[in-house]
Structure formats: structure tokens, C-alpha cells
A = this chain, B = another copy of it.
Amino acid sequence: MKQIKTAALPTKPGLKTFAIHADDTRARLLKAAVDVFAEQGYEAATIRQICSRADVNLALVNYHFGDKLELYTEVLRFAMSCAPQPAPGPGLPTGISAEDALRAIIRAMVERVLGNDDESNLRYRLMLHEFVRPTSVTALVVNEVMRPVYDRLREIVGSLLGLPSDHATSRLCTHGVLGQVGHYTRRNPILATLWPEMTMTAEQRELVARHIAESTLAYLGLIRPRSTVAPLMPEDPV
């Protein structure tokens, strides 16, 4: 019950034409929200930030999405839906050896996490925030974008081990890879403080990917010395 209200005189009377209708502002809002949420995380991001970035009125988030959490859910759904799958189909790759498949997928992960590709980088940053302060949609995100990579890694590792992919050893090796890749993430203060020279240039990314792959292969080959693993000696250590 308010009564007195200063006459709402619009600042820009007819300057902007709203020809494109609501779909446009909804899309702009979504795009801005991806950026802001990726940068700040769910709680630190503010609706005012998002609206300002989208150049849109403050009330429109609630109008179009209901509330902040629904916008966030929509952002995650959107960002995850266009995540590239690690392989077209299930099953082991054909045409290349399992060792090369491992090298390839690790290299792809490193590039995705650390490379300069904006889109997949935003996606990863969104996930990172999920990991440290899980929300109600965290498990969904993990299942959607992490699980395929995880399952494929397990298959490759398992085949190199001659063990089922859900064997504890397969899983330990797989999580070892995930842990190492995740460690080289951007703005990891451990890395920045303890190894300031590691700035994740293209050459360094290549070095990191190769190290992770070869060290994993070394272990796999060692605990299964009868396997067909090729000689693993990498080039002379840099």
C-alpha cells in the first residue's frame, strides 16, 4: 500500500526501439549471466551486475526467469548443452592404439581447461565454482559434462590394464589424471606462487599434457609388464 510515488518519467523516452521483442533481451541476459556467473560464482554474482552488463532493466531477470536460481540453472543447462562430447560413440576408439587415445584425450582436456578457447573456458569456470560451493545442480553438471570424459578415460585405462573399467585400479588411474589436469587450472594460487614461471603458454600446456599422459602410461605399463605397451621412454626430460 504505497500512495505517493514520484512521477515515473522515463529517461530515454523514445530513443530505443524494442522491435526485436523479448527473445533478444532474454538471450542477452543469458549471455551476460554466463559471463558473470563464470567469473564470480553463483553467490558472488549479482543481478545488478548481470543486468548492467546486458544493458537491461533490473527487474527483467525476475520477469523472464523467475528468480536468480532459475536463471543460474538455465545458464548451466545452456552452457552444458553445447559442450562437445569427447567421442562420437561409446566403445573404444578404432584406428589408433589405446596409448595414443589416452594421449589424445589428456591433451584435449588440458587444452579445454587451460587453452584460450573462450567458450569452453567459460564452461569450465562455471564448473569450478560448482565444485567448491556445490549447489543443487552440481550433480547434474558433473553427470552431464564430466561423466562422458570419465567413462571414456576409464575404458582406455582399463583396456591398457587388462582390467574392467570399474575396477579400483582403473578408477584410481583415471582420477589421477583428473586430479592432475584440474590442478593446472587457471588462477591456482598454489601454481602461481610455487611455480611462477609456469604461465601455461602453448608449449607449457603441451609439456604438461605429455607429462600426465606419459607418467600414467608408465604406471600402467609397469603394473602390467606383459602388456603390449610400446616403449614409453619420453623424449629427454626438458
Contact = CB atoms under 8 A, between A and B. Distances in A.
Interface of A: 41, 43-44, 128-134, 138-139, 142-143, 146-147, 150, 161, 163, 167-169, 171-173, 175-176, 178-184, 187-191, 193-195, 198, 207-208, 211-212, 214-216, 218-219, 221-223, 225, 232-234, 237-238
Given A208-B172, A215-B173, A219-B218, A142 B178 contact: no
A233 B220 CA distance: 11
A71 to B, nearest CB: 20
A215 B176 contact: yes
B139 A193 contact: yes
Given A134-B187, A176-B180, A191-B175, A222 B222 contact: yes
Nearest to A151: B194
Contacts of A147: 193-194
A178 B147 CA distance: 23
Contact of A167 (B182, B218, B234, B237): B237
A124 B178 CA distance: 20
Contact of A138 (B133, B189, B211, B223): B189
Nearest to A143: B193
A134 B218 contact: no
A130 B179 contact: no
30 contacts: A41-B133, A43-B43, A128-B132, A129-B132, A131-B189, A131-B190, A134-B189, A138-B193, A142-B190, A142-B193, A146-B190, A146-B194, A150-B194, A167-B237, A168-B238, A169-B237, A171-B195, A171-B198, A172-B208, A175-B191, A175-B195, A176-B180, A176-B212, A179-B180, A179-B181, A179-B183, A214-B219, A218-B222, A222-B222, A225-B233
